[in-house]
Structure 1
Amino acid sequence: MTEVFLGVEALGDGLPRSELRRWYRPIFRGVYIPKNATPTLRDRAVAAWLTSGRTGVVTGVAASAWHGADWVDDDEPIEILVHERRKQAGLLVRMDRVADDEVVTLDGLPVATRARTAFDMGRYLKRAAAMGRLDALMRAAPFERSEVTALMDRYGPVRGVRQLRQLLPLIDPGAESLKESWLRLLLIDDGFPIPETQIPIVDETGEAFAFVDMGWRQLRLAVEYDGDQHRTSRPIYVNDIRRLERIRRCGWEVVRVIKEDHPGAVLARVREAFKRRAEIDEMPESSRPLAPIRSFGRNETAA
């Protein structure tokens, strides 16, 4: 861990002011780190706590990382619950009430509990971002939805609680990336039935050889988000092509989505595939065609 300290305390312990200015730089008001150091998320969270006079409680996305959630960068703004507002760059100050039973000490730092972290992320983040972060927290450190509901009851109609109430039943730890959460919410908001996540694909021997991101098992329709690893890693790309071929041979159709795809184009493709698969599902077993299953192209990109 990088050395993180309050300047006034270091001066009080005998560090010359000239040495403080020469070898250290402020990360938050009154809090210093070595000039050559690149602060981690933990360093910045500790600094946020120190600048609050050791009274603040780390919450939000930073707290979710403390609980083990993935996909949190070191430069993520630190959200902290305090009694006095002190706006600073890189620091999200919340003058919200917080009870003792909503705080735990992790590695010596006061951090919001999993339920309180979910309560704050679901209210303050934008809808899609909140969905992703709630999924990630549930995946890494499962929490009881009832505990979050209890917090909603405790604090009443506070900011963002309506959004949180809508998202809470939709939390799914099966999402393996923030983009998968975004895609699932996009489908739900457009009126599709809530897709199942991490669906096993079973071959003729009854063995599950693959899992698809999300979809509808009865229709054998999957929707997958292709991350950058499919583009940057040749082995992953080759393996994915072969995997998709096996999935199609098992009667599944896969709609693939990349970041360049416009949301409207994604929904149109899924809607078309959903309708087609529903029609096939309604056919008598004896009359179902054995036509090849098509995966729609990637040429519908954002303007």
Structure 2
Amino acid sequence: MWVPSDVPDNLWQRCGALRAGLPRDAVFSHYTAASLYRVPVPDEPLIHVCTMQPVEPRIGGVVAHRILTLGEGDSCWLRGLRVTTPGRTFLDLAARLDLLSLVIAGDGLAGRAQNGVADLRVAVEAGVGRRGVKLARAALPLLDPASKSPMESRLRFLVVTALLGPVLVNKPVFDDAGEMFAEPDLQFAEFKIAIEYEGDHHHLDEGQWRRDIKRDELYRVHGWILIKVTKMDLLVRPATVIERIRDALISRGWRRP
């Protein structure tokens, strides 16, 4: 289960109310920090904080993580709350998530960091010896802050880890006259292959449905292969998704490196 990207106000209210009872150096962290950044993470009803106090605060509904140091570059202010930076949050989550979940969260955190993935890399390099740092290092080259949703991140993760090669994320494509006609979720530009994740809104919103029909026709007219992937495809038939993409690549002359 995933926290919606539009985090309910009650999370901010709960954190604000708890702040007065926490140690002065306490910083909201882990799942809580990610949720405050509106980054998708597994649902977690407890509030997570970090503190350097020798005795952890014991407050109902709060998980306190006692740490040795918290540098100035590890925390920042977000709408009046002190939270761990996107980089530090990424490193903290690496001790608790699997690789796919960390990449999904990392895409969002990189998108909120001032210097993108570079800020996350700095935090990981400073976390030598910490639990989860090896997983964080493995996730870094798989991140792309251009991803617009958890399912897009999941789709890209599937494609890249299947060794089909690097893909462009949410980049425009142009016709022969230089006019942009689409912006696929993923694309193999060299082979004119576009991959689109089709969420439920593509079918429930009539306007979106009509725009999709026009876009799909433009792909065909300009010589692109379009592969549409649904939630069911990703969650139930991932091998079939890879097979469809691989077959399309081979039809355009691709050979595995």
What TM-score do you get using the length of structure 1 for normalisation? 0.69
Cα deviations by residue, 1:229-251 (Å, 9 ceiling, x for unpaired) = 11221111121111111112111
- d(CA) in 1 for partners of 2:64 and 2:27? 10
Q: Which residue of 2 aligns with 1:94?
A: 65
Q: Which residue of 2 aligns with 1:265?
A: 240
- d(CA) in 1 for partners of 2:43 and 2:94? 21
Structure 1 residues not aligned, in runs of 5+: 1-37, 281-303
What TM-score do you get using the length of structure 2 for normalisation? 0.80
Give SS of 2:172's match. strand
- Is 1:133 aligned to residue 102 of structure 2? no
- Please tell me the residue identity of whatever aligns with 1:95: R
- Is 1:79 aligned to residue 48 of structure 2? yes
Give SS of 1:260's match. helix
- d(CA) in 1 for partners of 2:170 and 2:95? 27
CA displacement at 1:54 relative to structure 2: 4.8
Q: How does 1:111-122 map to 2 (within 5 A)?
A: 111-122=83-94
Q: How does 1:225-236 map to 2 (within 5 A)?
A: 225-236=197-208
- Is 1:164 aligned to residue 136 of structure 2? yes
Q: 1:154 aligns with which of 118, 123, 126?
A: 126
- Is 1:275 aligned to residue 250 of structure 2? yes
Structure 2 residues not aligned, in runs of 5+: 1-7
- Is 1:255 aligned to residue 230 of structure 2? no
- d(CA) in 1 for partners of 2:39 and 2:157? 19
Cα deviations by residue, 1:32-78 (Å, 9 ceiling, x for unpaired) = xxxxxx862212333454554454211234424545x4557997654
Which structure has more relative contact order (CA 8 Å, sep 6+)? It is 2
Task: Call closer, same or farther: CA 1:49–1:129 in 2, change over 3 Å.
Answer: farther
Q: Which residue of 1 aligns with 2:157?
A: 185
CA displacement at 1:201 relative to structure 2: 1.9
Cα deviations by residue, 1:197-239 (Å, 9 ceiling, x for unpaired) = 1132212321112100012100111111111211221111121
Tell whether the 8 Å contact from 2:23 to 2:57 is kept in structure 1 after alignment.
no
RMSD: 2.9
Cα deviations by residue, 1:137-186 (Å, 9 ceiling, x for unpaired) = 22244435454344334332222111110111222122111110111011
- Is 1:58 aligned to residue 28 of structure 2? yes
- Please tell me the residue identity of whatever aligns with 1:135: D
- Please tell me the residue identity of whatever aligns with 1:40: N
* Aligned length, in residue pairs: 241
Cα deviations by residue, 1:228-281 (Å, 9 ceiling, x for unpaired) = 21122111112111111111211111111111112112112112112112269x
